[in-house]
Structure 1
Amino acid sequence: MNNTESTLTKWFSDRPQWLQIAATRLLQNSELSNQDISELVTMCRKDADGTLSKPSCSFPSSAFSQGTAGTLRLCSISDVEGVNALAPKKPLEFGKGNITTVYGNNGSGKSGYVRLLKHICGARETETLHRNVYEPDSAGQKACVSYEKDGIKKSHKWSGQGVCDELNSVDIFDTSFGKVFVGSEDEVSYEPPVLSFFSSLILVCEKVASALDSEANQQQSKKPNIPADKKVTPEGKWYESLSAKATTQDIDKHCTFNSSDNKEMHTLQLRLTEQAPAEKAKQLRKQKQHIETLFGDALRCLEQLSEENCRRIIAAKKKSILKKAAADASAEKVFSDSELDGIGSDVWQELWEAARNYSLSGAYQGIDYPNVSDGSRCVLCHQTLTEEAKNRLTSFESFVKGELQKAAIDAAKEYELASQTIELLPTSETLKTRIDAAGIAQDEIASQVAEFFRQLQIRKDKLPEIDSEEAIPDPLSTPQWIEQLQAQAKSLGELAAKYDEDAKSDNRADINKKLNSLQTRKWLSEHRSAISDEVKRLKLLNQIQKAKKLTNTRALSQKKGELAEALITDAFVQRFNSELKALGASQVKVELVKAKVSKGRVLHKLQLQDAYQGGLAEVLSEGESRIVSIAAFLADVTGKTNQAPFVFDDPISSLDQTYEEAVVKRLIELSEDKQVIVFTHRLSLLGTIKHFAEKKSIKTDVVSIRPAGWGTGEPAPIPLSQSDIKSALNSLMNQRYQDAKKASENGEFEHAEILLKSMCSDFRTLVERSIENDLLCGVVQRFQRPVHSLKIKDLAKLRDADCHFLDSLMTKYSGFEHSQPTESPVELPEPEDLMADMASLKSWREEYAKRTA
């Protein structure tokens, strides 16, 4: 290895300086902290700028020596929620031995536990871990895995995502592993220290590159999007091609916009806004006229409802009232002896004037009214006037033409003329039409206009109710919007004059080009700060990109590939061939070869030997594919120096008896120094593991799981066919018998009957197993292939009484293992009889075990 260190020292001296520092730090500490990565990012950027001092990099002779591997054991899985249908109330314990078989029928939860372990331990192929599809979504997924690390008990609480770092060395084999080497290329798990060093250094490069990317991503551009019409200007083209090379002088040249530029731009805009300036001038003058009309009406109405005019109207009203009162008082004296009321009133006077008009124009033309000559008649009732009537009419006419009445009439006319000085105010509809015609948007000014005229209307409506000058409300002041409209009208007039001048221009293209450049420069000046920031950002990104080029892992990958050729591939292929032989599959013509090196990862693949066409999937049988996958898996994981557990999910699926036994033997060998956990639904595999483990004096642990009403994965007693007869019989006699007896004493007769039936069925199974293991001395057993011929000699102790005894028990309890006709069901024995039979079997087994031939 000394030659390797010397070669690497020379090779690294040609690498970027920051990478040499990273390599030195990795030699000192196998894992770099976040602080280390942060410092290396800074060094990488300095290296890109040429400001990093040159380091010295050397590899000591012990740099890649093999370290001492640690130990790891899985202890239990508990508190499982939201994983498939798993809902165990008790932990799944993996026992104290080195080989544990987890048995359960289909649908008992085995695959759920394996999928959970794959996610927690970070297996290669981790499929989606669904919740119970038959239940509403739960709050989340979680589980707790207890384990021992170098003899220290620990636990990891998994919350639905992430991998436990201390458990990622656990190797898991299930059906999906066949896709790894058989269906595609994959990387070998084991790496010698020097390759692990390269893998770590590649990871450091990726972390530094990722940090640089993250820093670059944080430098988001705040450069505003320039309008499309401005991109064609010289200033716009400069902005679009903005780069890290832009100087302060460049920014000053293109981003300065002063008041003279603004004035010039405004002048150009006035000339180019409209395609028909002469027509526009007419429109503006018309709009100006509407605006002048609007504020002219406002000023006129304001004047009409001014305090002075209101005082004049109220004074005329007061005068009219006084004159009318004087005339009424005179009339009351004149007409005091009248037989009818209301003589001299306004209504009466209207009637009098109507009668006068009728007399002068019709009845007595050319004769003064009233006609009191001889024989004259009343123009209303047409009766001949008496002297009294003639005198009354004459007095009425004297009153009407009297000074007081004339003064009252003149005062009323004066009040009427004063009131008529206030014209009708425009309605809200009329006002809206005028506002629209004036081109005033429905904004604040439009609202102020409407509110002003509303206040004028209120003032006008109140005026007839006011009788004194003191009651006149405060006058309205001239609103600000009138000044604004006056200024707007003036501006429109000036703009119309400009349009008249523009109509005579013929250089619109040049003016438009110049205007667009001025507008672009104005836009750039408004975004000058953002432009300066963008140039700074581009300079920073340029520096980051230069630094990121120094994190390229291609050279590291190539160097690792060269080292892996000799250090990994040959040994890996040898282990694969050895595993094929150990599994009895040497005749399967496949070979494991290196495919390529990708980012420092050495990828391998399985292929047919000397085949002209066809792949593994098309040629190998299902059983052959399975045994090849197991061989590849074992070749991969046995190269590791640690003692991490192996987990196998139904490894013998599709295998015949020969392959099955070969696999079991290999698992037993692995369990000699590592924990092996096998999940299976086959009793034959359970028995085969137990048989070959016993041959090597290895104790096996058997754990059973079953579905329950609340979910799957619930730990349960192991099958009677695989349990210890003595322990199972004691459980029947001491625990289950007492449960049935207690139920009967409590009056729970149906429950007691169920318990008793279950005991009879299990007792019958134990009798059958006693025949295999005790009476026949275990020469042949179900679920096991071997015949223990050496035990045949023990059959010499067998007697007729033994056969009759066991046969009687089989006969008595066989009905509880078979369907029973409903018309004649098998009657349950009394509990005391069952207890006596169990006790007799126990005594017989003890005596038979001690008996000699």
Structure 2
Amino acid sequence: MGAVDEILNWSATKLAPWRQDALRRLAGSSMLTMQDESELLDLIKDKVGFSMAAKPPTSTPLSKAHFASVSSGPPLQIKGIRNVKNVNRLVPAAALSFTPHGMTIVYGRNGSGKSGFVRIFRTACRTRTDNPAKLKVLADVYGSSGGPQEAEIIVDLGSGDVVVPWTAGAPASEILLQVAVFDSSAAQLYVDGGNQIQFLPFGLALPHKLNELCLTLRNKLEAERKPITDQIALVTVVFDTPRTTKAQTFYAGLTGKVTDVQIDTAATFSPKDEKRVDELTRLLAANTASAADATALSTWVKNLASECANLGQAFSDPQLDRYRALKQQAIDARTAAGTKAADLFSSEPLPGVGSETWRRLWLAAREYSITDAYAGREFPVVSTPDAIETCVLCQQPLSAEASDRMVRFQAFVNGSLAAAADQAETAVTQAITSLPQVEIFASKDWATRLEQIRKRNAELADTVTSFKKGVESRRATALALLQTSEAPPPPLAAASLVSPHGALQDLSAVLSAEAEALAKADQSGERAKLETERAELADRKILNAGRDHVIKRRDLLKEDALYTAALAEVQTRGITQKANELVDTHLTKIVTDHFEVERKTLEIAHLKVGLARKSGQTKAAFQTNPGTTLTKLTSEILSEGEQRALALAAFLTEIAVTEGAGPIVIDDPVSSLDRDRGLKVAARIAAEAQKRQVIVFTHDLIFFNDLCREADDLGVTTETIALFADGANAGKVDPAGVSWKGLSVTKRLARIRSDFAPLKKLHKSSPSDYEFEVKHLYGRLRDCYERLVEEHIFCDVVRRGVDRIETQKLRRVHLSDVLAIRFHVGMTKANTHSHDNPASETVSVPDPPAFELDLAYIEQLIADLRSESDSAERNRPSMKPK
């Protein structure tokens, strides 16, 4: 099964419809448009449930027809480069033209401007680089011109010239990615960085391109998803302590599928729960001492309840009315007694007898008499006929009249009205004495106890405080009513006095139960249960408080789940596995075998360096293997020449397995190579020029000649360009072409014919100038005869300036007598007309037809020498060992 059939079968059975559609689109273009990517993204979102206003187009599966639609026309050809601006020291509007079929060799000495053109190709075309910044193209750093670095690259895609604009730093045109560039920077990466085949044969490239598309779509999905994940990170409910409560377990398992009802159920928290949390907190914070404290507080509250009940009764409105009435009765009785006294004692010397003031005086006198003055004797003590007594008030002897007055006063005091008044006043005094004291309210620990009540029931604490104030106020009122000397005032409207004794009794019962619970909670097993209960309630309270956050987080998670599903659609594991499998089946052996062929061609097969496949998601790579565990860098093992040869082998392997036959640009391929390997590189490049357009830049004139000769031997069309620089600029093209010494015999003869063309007119207009010019051309013709010896008589076995002898070419060497004589004749004539002849003009100057015959003569001689060499090669017996 071929690669295309494998991909079709894999696509139909293993890939989702949108992936098949993506493959179909990729089959028609190596680069999808933003609209294509957007439509594919919509297909994914539609599949996983995103809400969209418009449905994406229906996907179309990949078929064999899509492969057939790929263009199979002629490869791209580079026609030239022109209008170069601000690139290095290149002359403004610098330009080069390249032969589209065959090989163009650009020769120039160091500093002639070759690198400027190569740098343009490096940034515009496909090249190996580990750092795109290294591809930077500078302007003339010592010049004054400004503006961007620009150029126009002229290409032909089979339907005429196309101008591809180039600007330094701008994205490269996809068209030029068919062109591969090799230079020193790329060579280093081929040696150490691996031969990464970035452009696979079309069928094998599709899975890698699909991976690349998936990664692009993944990046877009992740970019869309990021604001959601950022919000999820912010919209959180923070629990005080991480633990496995039902609330935390529910929150940890929160997904987009959780309903509002489930959230409400998990986050329910009532006032009763709040009260239970407080109770549990107290229980868990307690110990045996706390139980005793709760018991003591319960007893105190119980006592307070009893006192409040008593005080509420003692200072109730009816009781205050009783105190008022009691006082009023005492006042009324004393008033009645006073009125009687006024009637009885109106004739007494002093007024006011029987009044309250007088009564106090009388009682004081009585007390003095029976206690001190006349102890043991009944009051009043008065004079008798037998004895004269002393008055306890005036300390004078009592006369009969005074004694009678004392008796009458005592009779009044002992009378019914006075007795009634005394009894009423005694009742008032007893009432004052019996007024309850507010002892518990005045105790030292009152503030502490009240605060303890407040922590449990703030409302009750406020009620108790209000009751205390009411009791204190009413006691003062009662005392004032009983102690007033005037008629008590009528009752004023006052706040009712509500005793909190019932609520206090309830609290006392709760405290008693709490004390029992505290004592019980001190046991470890029971404590663990209480801690669990409190943790559940505390976390449920937090979840309840954060309910809005939970719902918002649920909504975000629901949306995020859609992105998770969409991202699962663009995972690349299966595609990568299939891509590697296809590469192994249809490419790996081809690459490694071709690499071995290239190594043998360049005579580096003895090196233990090989290639090992190391593919990624979007490319198939063949990593150079140094063949040792001591280093991972091949450059640390090989010499510079071996590195360059290895890099060329890797480069030629890459372009051999790359789809199409795009042009290649090579800069100084024989740098650091020895002479023998340089010849092999020349032969290999010339052979490659038979398959594709080749552009070579070199400063090595010997390599230039080798390359020209190899191309001529293979019949490859060769165009040569000579660059030079002056004090102002580089990149100037020498219109005369490459220097004379760098030309082969054939190119030299073409040059002579070109230079001779204008001399035909000069022969008629100025014979003297014609003689001067034609003498120079005969000297050039003599050079051709001399070079002919190397190239065609000795078949390049031995060449001047070359330190090697190609003995294998001796099989082609054969010079017959006829051709030897013809060579002698032609050489003699060239010598005759190029040397200085006598002034007697015994040697005539050849006219134009004669010169053209001499040119035709050497060209025919070359053709016959080649024919004779070919015949000698065919007729020699085999030299293989028997």
Indicate yes or no: 2:101 matched with 1:82: no
Aligned-residue offset at 1:789: 3.6
Residue aligning to 1:550:
569
> How do 1:577-726 residues align onto structure 2 when only pairs under 5 Å count?
577-594=596-613, 596-609=614-627, 615-717=633-735, 718=737, 719-723=739-743, 724-726=747-749
1:293-346 deviation per Cα after TM superposition (whole angstroms, max 9, x unaligned): xxxxxxxxxxxxxxxxxxxxxxxxxxxxxxxxxxxxxxxxxxxxxxxxxxxxxx
* CA–CA separation in structure 2 for the residues paired with 1:172 and 1:713: 19
Partner of 1:113: 117
1:191 and 2:200 matched: yes
Moved more, 694-703 or 540-549: 540-549
| C-alpha contact 1:776 1:795 (8 A) present in aligned 2 | no
Q: TM-score, length-normalised on structure 2? A: 0.51
Structure 1 equivalent of residue 220 of structure 2: 211
Among candidates 129, 142, 149, match of residue 141 of structure 1: 149
2:76 counterpart (72, 76, 92): 72
Relative distance call for 1:67 and 1:140 in structure 2 (3 A) is closer
Match of 1:576 among 595, 607, 610: 595
Q: Distance in 1 between matches of 2:548 and 2:851?
A: 96
Whole-angstrom distance in 2 between the partners of 1:224 and 1:572 = 50
Q: Secondary structure at the match of 1:597?
A: coil
CA shift digits 1:455-474 (9 cap, x unpaired): xxxxxxxxxxxxxxxxxxxx
Question: Are the structure 2 counterparts of residues 216 and 616 from structure 1 closer, same or farther at C-alpha, using a change threshold of 3 Å?
Answer: same
Q: Are residues 772 and 558 of structure 1, via their aligned partners in 2, closer, same or farther at CA, if it must alter by over 3 Å?
A: same
The residue that corresponds to 1:523 in the other structure is: none
Structure with the greater alpha carbon radius of gyration: 2
- Report if aligned partners of 2:88, 2:141 keep a CA contact under 8 Å in 1: yes
Q: Encode CA deviations 1:478-532: one digit per residue, 9 max, x unaligned.
A: xxxxxxxxxxxxxxxxxxxxxxxxxxx99xx9xxxxxxxxxxxxxxxxxx99999
Q: CA deviation at 1:145?
A: 0.3
Any conservation in 2 of the 1:182–1:617 contact (CA below 8 Å)? yes
Matching of residues 765-780 of structure 1 within 5 Å: 766=780, 769-773=783-787, 779=793
> Corresponding residue for 1:796?
821
Using the TM superposition, give the Cα deviation of residue 671 of structure 1 relative to its aligned residue in structure 2, in angstroms: 1.6
The one of 124, 130, 134 equivalent to 2:128 is 124
User: 2:117 & 2:856 partners in 1: Cα distance?
Assistant: 43
Distance 1:687 1:7 in 2: 48
Structure-to-structure mapping, 1:737-776, within 5 angstroms = 766=780, 769-773=783-787
Report the Cα offset of residue 611 of structure 1. Answer: 7.5
Shift in Å at residue 610 of structure 1?
7.2
Shift of 1:107: 1.0
Q: Distance in 2 between matches of 1:530 and 1:762?
A: 98
1:165 aligns with 2:169: no
Pairing 1:23-42 to 2, within 5 Å after superposition:
23=23, 26=26, 32-42=32-42
1:470 paired residue number: none
Residue 135 of structure 1 aligns to a residue whose secondary structure is coil
1:271-350 to structure 2, matched below 5 A, reads: none
Paired with 1:204 and 1:531, the residues of 2 have a C-alpha distance of 36
CA contact (8 A) 1:646 1:677 kept: yes
How many Å apart are 1:21 and its aligned residue? 4.4
Partner AA of 1:140 in structure 2: P
Moved more, 216-225 or 110-119: 216-225
Instruction: Using the TM superposition, give the Cα deviation of residue 75 of structure 1 relative to its aligned residue in structure 2, in angstroms.
Output: 0.6
CA distance in structure 2 between the aligned counterparts of 1:20 and 1:686, rounded to whole angstroms: 51
* Cα drift, residue 604 of structure 1: 1.3
**What is the CA-CA distance between 1:609 and the residue it aligns to?**
4.7
Compare 617-626 and 73-82 and name the one that shifted more.
617-626
Change beyond 3 A, Cα 1:95–1:36: closer
Q: How many residues align?
A: 541
Partner residue of 1:562? 581
Matches within 5 A, 1:357-376: none
* Residue identity matched to 2:163: S
Shift of 1:654: 1.8
- Tell me the secondary structure at the aligned position of residue 725 of structure 2: strand
Question: What letter matches 1:618 in structure 2?
Answer: E
Deviation at 1:545, TM superposition (A): 4.2
- The AA in structure 2 aligned to 1:93 is S
1:652 shift after superposition: 1.6
Q: After TM superposition, give the deviation of residue 140 of structure 1 in Å.
A: 0.6
Q: TM-score, normalised by structure 1?
A: 0.53
Q: Percent of pairs identical after alignment? A: 22
The answer for the alignment partner of 2:273 in structure 1 is none
Q: CA deviation at 1:617?
A: 1.8
CA 1:6–1:849 in 2, change beyond 3 Å: closer, same or farther?
closer
CA deviations 1:122-148 (Å, max 9, x no partner) are 323253323122224721111100011
Whole-angstrom distance in 2 between the partners of 1:61 and 1:216: 36
Superposition pairs for residues 792-831 of structure 1, below 5 Å? Answer: 794-797=819-822, 806=831, 809=834
User: 1:702: Cα distance to partner?
Assistant: 0.7
Pick closer, same or farther for the CA change 1:567–1:777 going to 2, 3 Å.
closer
Unaligned runs of 5+ in 2: 242-247, 268-450, 456-546, 838-843, 865-882
Distance 1:192 1:800, change over 3 A: closer
Structure 1 unmatched runs, 5+ = 255-504, 510-527, 743-751, 813-834
Q: 1:12 to 1:179 in 2, by over 3 A?
A: farther
2:781–2:830 Cα contact (<8 Å) kept: no
Q: 8 Å contact 1:208–1:551 — kept in the other structure?
A: yes
| 8 A contact 1:771–1:806 mirrored in 2 | no
Change in 2 beyond 3 A, CA 1:614/1:29: closer
What is aligned with 2:344?
Answer: none
User: What does the per-residue CA deviation read over 1:741-787, in whole Å, with 9 as the maximum and x for residues that have no partner?
Assistant: x9xxxxxxxxx9xxxx9x99997983673352468885465567768
AA partner of residue 599 (structure 2): L
Change (3 A) 1:774 1:50: closer
The alpha carbon displacement at 1:795 in A equals 3.8
Aligned with 2:107 (options 103, 108, 111): 103
Distance apart, 1:210 and its partner CA? 2.8
Give 1:725 shift: 3.4
Provide the rounded CA distance (Å) in 2 between the counterparts of 1:71 and 1:87: 31
Structure-1 separation of matches of 2:184 and 2:774 = 39
Query: Any idea what the Cα deviations from partners look like across 1:394-437, whole Å, max 9, x if unmatched?
Result: xxxxxxxxxxxxxxxxxxxxxxxxxxxxxxxxxxxxxxxxxxxx
Q: Give 2:189's aligned residue.
A: 180
In the aligned structure 1, how far is the partner of 2:190 from the partner of 2:856?
56
CA distance in 2 between counterparts of 1:763 and 1:680 reads 29
Question: For the structure 1 residues 798 and 35, does the alpha-carbon distance in structure 2 shift closer, same or farther, using more than 3 Å as the test?
Answer: closer
| 1:580 aligned partner, one-letter code | R
- Structure 1: how far apart are the matches of 2:651 and 2:560? 45
**8 Å Cα contact 1:576-1:631 kept in structure 2:** yes
Aligned position for 2:520 = none
Please show how residues 338-417 of structure 1 align to structure 2 within 5 Å.
none
- Structure-to-structure mapping, 1:251-270, within 5 angstroms: none
Structure 1 CA distance for aligned equivalents of residues 7 and 99 of structure 2 = 49
Maintained 8 Å contact 1:88/1:712: no
What's the offset of the Cα at 1:198? Answer: 0.6
Equivalent pair of 1:74/1:94 in contact (CA under 8 Å): yes
Shift of 1:92: 0.2
